[in-house]
Amino acid sequence: MSSSITDARRAQVQAVLDACPLIPVIAIHRPEHALPLARALVEGGINILEITLRTPFGLDAIRELRKELPEAWVGAGTVTSVDQYRAVEEAGAQFVITPGTTDSLFDYGLTASAPLLPGVATLSEMMRGYQRGYRHFKFFPAEVAGGVSALKAFSGPFPDVCFCPTGGIRKETASDYLALANVAAVGGSWLTPQDAIDQGDWQRVTAIARESLALLRNGKVC
């Protein structure tokens, strides 16, 4: 097994983060919600979907969305073990996001078919990945781990590292993060409110996606 991540692998992760500046963190509580929810997000301009393994329906949702929505990037979130990583790859996940990271996950991600965006909350955790060549990380839980100020501080010692913060971010605060040079995308569950999903209010989901993207365009980012 190679001991360091390749440039090609880094480019794969960058391509995922370049696909859309906003990444919805999605929990599927009813299997029949997966496709209309995903379609509503795509309709609203969001073509990247992080389907978490927080419910038993995540794996099947990934399979279904890969088949039905070829125009979207479909990845897996809340992956916490190598066994889960293998399972989401088998389901067709195009990227894998973890909330925190273990050495086994860091090592598996070096050669896995789906690129890894490992989660970290501190520089010490990040440096374990950095040693293996990782340069892209999820920063979680962003708001309680120091938010924008922490990310600004991280850019001093590690100007070559890029983050996707998630955790406590809202549509009103996403552009504050995206204004930082070391932030490529931000994620969160504000894009998929559970009450809208429960009510099958897909138009509201589309509207939130559009509003959230419009706030970025009207702000300092785009």
Nearer to ligand 3PG, 20 or 25 (CB): 25
Q: Give the whole-angstrom CA distance, residue 201 versus residue 198.
A: 8
Q: Contact letters (x/-) for ligand 3PG, 148-187, by CB under 6 A?
A: ------------------xxxx-----------------x
Q: How many CA atoms lie within 13 A of 17 on its CB side?
A: 26
Q: Is 116 helix (H, G, I), strand (E, B) or coil?
A: strand
Binding residues among 35-74 for ligand 3PG as defined by CB under 6 A = none
Identity at 183, one-letter amino acid code: V
Q: Which of 64, 138, 143, 171 is catalytic?
A: 138
Helix, strand or coil, per DSSP, at residue 86: helix
Shorter beta-carbon distance to ligand 3PG: residue 5 or 51? 51
Sheet with 162-165, side-by-side order of all strands: 119-120, 136-139, 162-165
Tell which positions 180-209 bind ligand 3PG, by CB under 6 A: 187-190
Q: Look up tokens 């390749």; give the residue.
A: 6
Number of residues that bind ligand 3PG (CB under 6 A): 12
Residues in the chain: 222
Residues found near ligand 3PG in the complex (CB under 6 A): 25, 77, 99, 140, 166-169, 187-190
Residues annotated catalytic, as ranges: 50, 138
